[in-house]
Chain A
Amino acid sequence: MLYRTGPLILVFGTALLLIIAFFIPHKPFGDLEARFLNWYAIISGFTFLLGLDSLARHHLIKIVRREKGWFYSLLLVTSLFGTLFWGLYSWIRYASPFALNAPFMWLYKFMIIPLQATMFATLAFFIFSAAYRAFRVRNLAATLLLIAACMVMLGNVPIGSSIWAGISWLIHQIFPNTNLEILKRWELFAAAKDWLMAIPQAAAGRGIGIGLALGGIAMSLRIILGIERTYLSS
């Protein structure tokens, strides 16, 4: 009984205190909030240990049982503890793992940064594939999306300005009365990108944001009132 109701009472009481502390930021509630924040920080620190334990246990079991992909698990565990070792060594030897001449920083500069850069670079191929699927001219809406995407992509890079300069020159050749300098300064792609981002895109973003916030409030109320109990694994 207490196993189930205990956490519910704890959640309800804590949430109630935090709500009161938010609206009455004076003693004793103001101090209570600071205390809760400290506890939160301590608990979130311990979640790293939990994560480390869970990750290491999962992969060590895979290695011991020689399950499929165990070699990658071995690489992960070696990298994990190797990084930890060099971090601790740098801390002891150089007073901080982030000292520029510490081995940890060597590991960071010559292994972690290039690996992350490689990871992000490979994303480009997925973007190419996803872009084609998203921007096929199946109907009017998809065609508009394609045009908007091309405008934004060109507006985001210097080549867009160069292309617009070329188009301006072409317009000036066809209509000699137009002022080439004014046309060039118009920067159609950059202007279109700014408008698309600041007006239609931001409007849609706001809608999604408000929806998410309302959903968050509803979910918080469900948790506080004990309606949502998935965190109890039930």
Chain B
Amino acid sequence: MLIAILRHCFKKNLKVILTGQLALGLPLGEIALNQVSGEYNKVYGRDYVNIGYRPGSTALMVGIGREIRDFFKTDYRGVPLDSFEFMRRVHNYHDIALLVTLAHGAVADAWIQYAGARFNQKIIVGCTGVNAPNMYQYLSAQQITGLIGGLQGASEYETLVEKPGAATLGMPAQSTAHALLIILLIIGNIGFILSKKKI
């Protein structure tokens, strides 16, 4: 999902700021940035930055609405944000055209409630398939601009950017699992009906 989004951003020459609400997720971001930036000849600091992780969760989300430097004075390597030219123009949500949150439910909810509702930040949510249903109410209320739901959403996004990747490769496995689940449900229900008739 992240790789497809980064490809889309870099293809359109958009500047990317990566941050993480979960420390364990950041290496994935770094791996994806390194992979995709190479494909599009993008340079760290000029086209994208990784500002890393800071504790604070919802406080951080509200705080960025005032000044991003209150929480992120440096990038994840400790380089001051102001040493990157495009970051000098970024202070709060007014300077961020689109926020893409790749998260499980609770973090996406928090971004919508704090950054979206309070600061009118335009948001796109990418989440796991399990959490996607919870995001539909935000989508239909136009509290979020887009929704990328699970592996299927990621695969659709890869198709959109015309670069099939891991998600598209995973779809046959998901198809098999869903088909198997439906077959087992049918067999289980036949057994259930037959056992009820015997009683």
Residues on A facing B (Cβ under 8 Å): 33-34, 36-38, 40-41, 44-45, 47-48, 95-96, 98, 100, 104-105, 108-109, 112, 124, 127-128, 131-132, 135-137, 146, 149-150, 153-154, 156-160, 197-198, 201-202, 205-206, 209
> Can you list 22 A-B pairs, Cβ within 8 angstroms, ordered by A?
A33-B62, A37-B56, A37-B60, A37-B70, A40-B56, A41-B71, A95-B77, A98-B26, A98-B27, A98-B50, A128-B181, A135-B185, A136-B189, A137-B192, A146-B185, A154-B178, A157-B152, A157-B179, A159-B176, A159-B179, A198-B139, A201-B136
Whether A153 lies near B152 (C-beta < 8 A) is no
Residue of B nearest to A136 (CB): B192
From A36, A41, A100, A198, contact of B55 by CB (8 A): A41
- Give chain A residues whose Cβ lies under 8 Å from the Cβ of B55: 41, 44-45, 47-48
Residue of B nearest to A190 (CB): B152
Contact flags B158-176 to A (C-beta < 8 A → 1, else 0): 0000000000000110111
Whether B185 lies near A158 (C-beta < 8 A) is no
Whether A37 lies near B152 (C-beta < 8 A) is no
- The interface residues of chain B, by DSSP majority, are classed as helix
Residues on B facing A (Cβ under 8 Å): 24, 26-27, 30-31, 34, 50, 54-57, 59-60, 62-63, 66-67, 70-71, 76-78, 129, 132-134, 136-137, 139-140, 150, 152, 171-172, 174-179, 181-182, 184-185, 188-189, 192-193
- Give chain B residues whose Cβ lies under 8 Å from the Cβ of A112: 24
The smallest beta-carbon distance between A135 and chain B, in angstroms, is: 6
Whether B171 lies near A158 (C-beta < 8 A) is yes
Whether B136 lies near A197 (C-beta < 8 A) is yes
From B50, B56, B134, contact of A41 by CB (8 A): B56
Whether A205 lies near B136 (C-beta < 8 A) is yes
The smallest beta-carbon distance between A71 and chain B, in angstroms, is: 25
The smallest beta-carbon distance between A101 and chain B, in angstroms, is: 11
Instruction: State the CA gap A146–B178 with chains docked (Å).
Output: 13
- Give chain A residues whose Cβ lies under 8 Å from the Cβ of B178: 153-154, 156-157, 159-160
- Give chain A residues whose Cβ lies under 8 Å from the Cβ of B129: 156
Given contacts A41-B60, A132-B185, A198-B139, 17 further A-B contacts (CB under 8 A): A33-B62, A34-B70, A37-B59, A38-B63, A41-B56, A44-B56, A96-B77, A128-B181, A137-B192, A153-B182, A154-B182, A156-B152, A156-B178, A157-B178, A159-B178, A202-B136, A202-B137
Instruction: State the CA gap A44–B63 with chains docked (Å).
Output: 14
Instruction: State the CA gap A158–B59 with chains docked (Å).
Output: 41
Whether A108 lies near B27 (C-beta < 8 A) is yes
Whether B137 lies near A136 (C-beta < 8 A) is no
The smallest beta-carbon distance between B35 and chain A, in angstroms, is: 10
- Give chain A residues whose Cβ lies under 8 Å from the Cβ of B67: 34
From B57, B77, B134, contact of A205 by CB (8 A): B134
Instruction: State the CA gap A211–B158 with chains docked (Å).
Output: 37
- Give chain A residues whose Cβ lies under 8 Å from the Cβ of B172: 158
Whether A128 lies near B184 (C-beta < 8 A) is yes
Instruction: State the CA gap A45–B55 with chains docked (Å).
Output: 5
Instruction: State the CA gap A135–B193 with chains docked (Å).
Output: 12
The smallest beta-carbon distance between B48 and chain A, in angstroms, is: 14
Q: Which 8 A-B residue pairings sit nearest by Cβ, starting from the closest?
A: A41-B56, A159-B175, A40-B59, A45-B55, A157-B175, A37-B59, A202-B136, A153-B178
Whether B137 lies near A34 (C-beta < 8 A) is no
Whether B140 lies near A153 (C-beta < 8 A) is no
The smallest beta-carbon distance between B85 and chain A, in angstroms, is: 22
Interface centre among A124, A157, A198 (most CB of B within 10 A): A157
